[in-house]
Structure 1
Amino acid sequence: MYIGRFVVVGPSVAAYRVSSRSFPNRKLIERPAGLTVVPTADAEETTNPYVSYNCVRTAGGHAVVGNGSHVDPITEKVERGYPPRDALTEALLAMDYEKDDYDTPRIAGVLAPDGTAYVGIVRADAVLVRAVEEPTLVATYEKDAPEAIGFDAATAADAAREAYSAAFEHAVCAAGVSRRGVGDGYDTAVVNDP
């Protein structure tokens, strides 16, 4: 089944996976601000604004994961003291779904320093933001409402590998985030290889 890009959030780990039929030549790179999706060296040039973006950022004791440029305003809001639910809701509403041929939803999640976690999606027909107490998946297609999922990862590396290996079609790369402890920051990891 092809569900497109997806996030798994909560309560102490998060993951993001790029799944793509249209732009498979992408990878994750580490940057000072977090993890960024970029085209590989052999990718065709494109002006598509949805191909390259920050997908993981940490700031203000929070970790934010998502499938596009909305990760940045969510991160900025939690860093300024917004509650994660409000940061997700406001940024998703402001950015809206992607204006591409598929009306691709924007998906995101937040791990908060107090041990709570949230997941959200904005689609053409709805905005959903939920607190999560167990690993919860939301994807751009087919599984476009938050749902509990079996996800056993405890570390960032395990989360990235488990997301990459999940039984959904067209995996490209994956990121994982894990909380070191309440208030102790986060570890991140990437999987770029098949």
Structure 2
Amino acid sequence: MTYTGRTLGIGLMNGKPFAFYLLCSRSFPRRRALVRENAVYIENLTETDNPYVSYPVVRLLDNYAVVTNGLQTEFIAQALEWESPKKALIHVLDALDYERDGYNTPRIAGIIGTTEKGWLGFAGRDEFWVKELELKEGKAFVTATYNLGFEELDLPPFENAGELAERVMKLPFERKVLAIGVVKKEQDWRIGISP
């Protein structure tokens, strides 16, 4: 199995956009996801002065859902108030760049909206890209902080955000801690967390 660190995917199931976040961790496996109104936060449960292990991971807006592996979540959500998803990702990821930790951890980010279009971004020490993507039924476009690059995965069918999170926890990656699923449902976004 591969260690991917933080993994992020966007896709389409039953004609509805979805996004997921999979937290895998070697150093800080004691973490949980907390839902607060229109946002989800990763909370670290191990004492540390590392500023990168607790962060906003999901932010839900009327027309967009933002999923990332760091504080860029809030900045991207703010940028979406005045610019396109592609430009929001380019500007925020370029400004913040990769995390200045011992691993030079890349920043990753994804945005889904109310159409069959999605956006993924990656800001590493030696690599930077932002992609605008036509989402495909039953597929997920995926990136991760380590050892994955940009991939397209098949996902088994799911009916809701909770089932999406459960499917993601079964992906063949090492040191899985938790998964978060976000699915567009009628006029609302739905969040599911596993375990």
Deviation at 1:185, TM superposition (A): 2.8
CA distance in 2: counterparts of 1:149 and 1:99, whole angstroms = 30
Is 1:102 equivalent to 2:107 in the alignment?
Answer: no
- Residue 154 of structure 1 and its aligned partner are, at CA, apart by 4.8
Aligned CA distance change for structure 1 residues 154 and 103 (closer, same or farther; 3 Å): farther
In the other structure, the counterpart of 2:166 is 161
CA-based RMSD of the aligned residues comes to: 1.4
2:3 is equivalent to residue 32 of structure 1: no
1:116 aligned partner, one-letter code: K
Q: Does 1:139 align with 2:168?
A: no
Partner of 2:59: 57
Q: 2:190 aligns with which of 184, 187, 192?
A: 187
What is the CA–CA distance in structure 1 between the aligned matches of 2:36 and 2:191, rounded to whole Å?
A: 11
Q: Shift of the alpha carbon at 1:13?
A: 0.8
Q: CA deviation at 1:60?
A: 3.8
TM (norm. structure 2) is: 0.90
- In structure 1, the gaps of 5 or more residues are none
CA positional deviation for 1:188 = 0.8
Letter of the structure 2 residue corresponding to residue 73 of structure 1: F
Q: CA deviation at 1:98?
A: 0.6
In structure 1, C-alpha distance between the alignment counterparts of 2:126 and 2:155, rounded to whole Å:
28
Q: Which one has a larger percent strand, Structure 1 or Structure 2? A: 2
CA deviations 1:141-164 (Å, max 9, x no partner) are 001x22211123452112211122
Aligned residue pairs: how many? 185
State how far apart, in whole Å, the 2-side matches of 1:167 and 1:18 are: 13
Identity %: 32
Q: Which runs of 5+ in 2 are unaligned?
A: none
Matched residue type, 2:116: G
- 1:111-132 CA-to-partner distances (Å, cap 9, x unmatched) read 0223321111101112111122
Q: Which runs of 4+ in 1 moved over 4 A?
A: none
Q: How much does 1:165 deviate?
A: 1.7
Counterpart-to-counterpart distance in 1, 2:97 and 2:62:
24
Aligned partners of 1:119 and 1:146 also within 8 Å:
no
Q: Does the residue aligned with 1:75 lie in a helix, a strand or coil?
A: helix
> What TM-score, normalized to structure 1?
0.90
1:149 is paired with a residue whose SS is strand
